[in-house]
Amino acid sequence: MFLQLFIINKSGSLIFHQDLSPAAPRLSSNDSLRLGSTFHSLHAIAAQVAPIASSGIEKLETATYRLRCLQTLTGAKFVITAQPNTPELEVVLQGIYELYTDYVLKNPFYELEMPIRCELFTQHLEKLVERYNAASR
C-alpha cells in the first residue's frame, strides 16, 4: 500500500504533497515542506559523496517503509513512500510522472516550479493509486 507522494522542484521546494492512504502518517503543511527540502538536500549530498558516479538517493528500504525517488531530467523529484512489501514502486512513479506531464505541464495555467493545483492531475493520481492498491491485495 502506498503512503505518501511528494513532488519537489529543482530548487528543493515542495510543490505537491498527497496522502495516498488513510494509514499514512498525518503531516502538517510545515512538516511536509520541511521533509521535502530535507530530502532534496540529502539527495544532493548523497550524489556528491558517493564513491562512484551517482544521481543521489534512489531508494531506501527499512523494516517499516519503502521510499523510492524518481529524478527527472529537469531536476524535479518524485518521491513515494509505501509499506514494506509494496511492489512496483518504480512503475507507479513512472505512471505518476506521465500524469504530471499530461495534466500539469500541458496545463496552460500552470507555471513551472510553482505548487501544483490541478484537479485533473489529482483525480487521475487517485485512480492510479487505487488501481495498484487493488491489484496488490
pLDDT digits (tens, 9 = 90+) for 52-102: 878 889 999 999 999 999 999 989 999 999 999 888 899 999 999 999 999
pTM (global) more than 0.85? yes
Looking from the CA of 124 toward its CB, the CA atoms found within 13 Å total: 15
CATH of 2-135, one of 3.40.50.300, 3.30.450.70, 1.25.10.10, 3.40.1170.10: 3.30.450.70
- Whether 137 has a pLDDT exceeding 70, the answer reads no
Confidence category of residue 51, pLDDT binned at 50, 70, 90: confident
E runs forming strands in 41-123: 59-61, 66-71, 77-82
Instruction: Give the three-state DSSP class for 65.
Output: coil
CA-CA distance, 113 to 131, in Å (whole number)?
A: 29
Domain extents in the chain: 2-135
